[in-house]
């Protein structure tokens, strides 16, 4: 089924062969609730509980492609969710640090990632807007929940020559998927890529907990 999804995404414009290979290798059905597994390869978001969704495959692949991963990067992901995007990043990067604010989702994602034999991922329960400062800087940062602006803490944790992708805008409105590129001198260039709709980036009132 995942091979069919990869072929479908290629027809829709995804070109990076490494991204398409990762999509073909990672079974999306392993990251959705059992009752929805028959719909796993549909190009639409699906509910995963707690008011959250697993994103539309085309958007996931587009965001991943625009990160420009070569296999040597350390990536910070904000919003582990189901763990599907995490699994793709893990196959394309050297190391992934992923933060999820909902403990139940983080635990479920940890189990799904372990079942897929993925070992180069570090998970944390906490406020994604604060990032993971003790592990910074990161070569790439991917945010999978929307905020009115890209959090300053995340931009600060992006390495020079790094890339950050995040949905920006109000929750009730159409958002923009924004690419932020940081120059060698620390200056940033922001480019809006396409309109999207993501769940909101929520904030925690307590500290973070590492899971592995």
Please provide the DSSP assignment of 151-162 as one string. Answer: -HHHHHTEEEEE
59: left (phi over 0), alpha (psi -120 to 50) or beta: alpha
C-alpha 89/C-alpha 80 separation (Å) is 11
The domain at 2-210 falls in which architecture? 3-Layer(aba) Sandwich (3.40)
Residue 207: the pLDDT is 45
Strands (E), 65-156: 74-78, 95-100, 121-125, 138-143
Q: Which of 32, 34, 40, 35 is nearest to 2 (CA)?
A: 40
Residue 204: the pLDDT is 55
Distance of alpha carbon 20 from the chain centroid: 16
Q: Taking a C-beta distance cutoff of 8 angstroms, is the pair 162, 139 a contact?
A: yes
Residue 210: the pLDDT is 60
Residue 1: the pLDDT is 57
C-alpha 137/C-alpha 92 separation (Å) is 18
Residue 205: the pLDDT is 46
Regions in the chain scoring below 50 on pLDDT = 205-207
Instruction: Enter the DSSP assignment of 173.
Output: S
Residue 65: the pLDDT is 98
Residue ranges per structural domain of the chain? 2-210
Q: Which of 29, 53, 140 is nearest to 92 (CA)?
A: 140
Residue 172: the pLDDT is 77
Active site residues: 55
Residue 19: the pLDDT is 98
C-alpha 43/C-alpha 23 separation (Å) is 13
Residue 202: the pLDDT is 83
Q: Taking a C-beta distance cutoff of 8 angstroms, is the pair 63, 177 a contact?
A: yes
């Amino acid at each position: 089924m995942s091979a069919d999804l990869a072929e479908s995404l290629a027809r829709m414009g995804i070109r990076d062969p490494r991204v398409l290979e990762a999509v073909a290798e990672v079974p999306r059905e392993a990251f959705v609730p059992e009752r929805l597994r028959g719909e796993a390869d549909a190009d639409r978001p699906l509910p995963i509980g707690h008011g959250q969704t697993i994103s539309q495959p085309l958007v996931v692949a587009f965001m991943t492609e625009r990160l420009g991963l070569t296999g040597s990067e350390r990536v910070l992901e904000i919003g582990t969710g189901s763990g599907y995007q995490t699994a793709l990043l893990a196959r394309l990067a050297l190391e992934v640090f992923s933060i999820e604010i909902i403990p139940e989702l983080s635990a479920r994602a940890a189990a799904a990632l372990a079942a897929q034999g993925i070992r180069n991922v570090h998970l944390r329960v906490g406020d994604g807007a604060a990032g993971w400062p003790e592990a910074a800087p990161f070569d790439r940062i991917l945010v999978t929940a929307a905020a009115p602006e890209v959090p300053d803490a995340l931009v600060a944790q992006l390495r020079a020559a790094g890339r950050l992708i995040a949905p920006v805008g109000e929750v009730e409105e159409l958002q923009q998927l924004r690419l932020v590129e940081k120059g060698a001198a620390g200056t940033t260039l922001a480019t809006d890529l396409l309109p999207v709709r993501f769940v909101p980036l929520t904030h925690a009132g307590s500290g973070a907990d590492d899971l592995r």
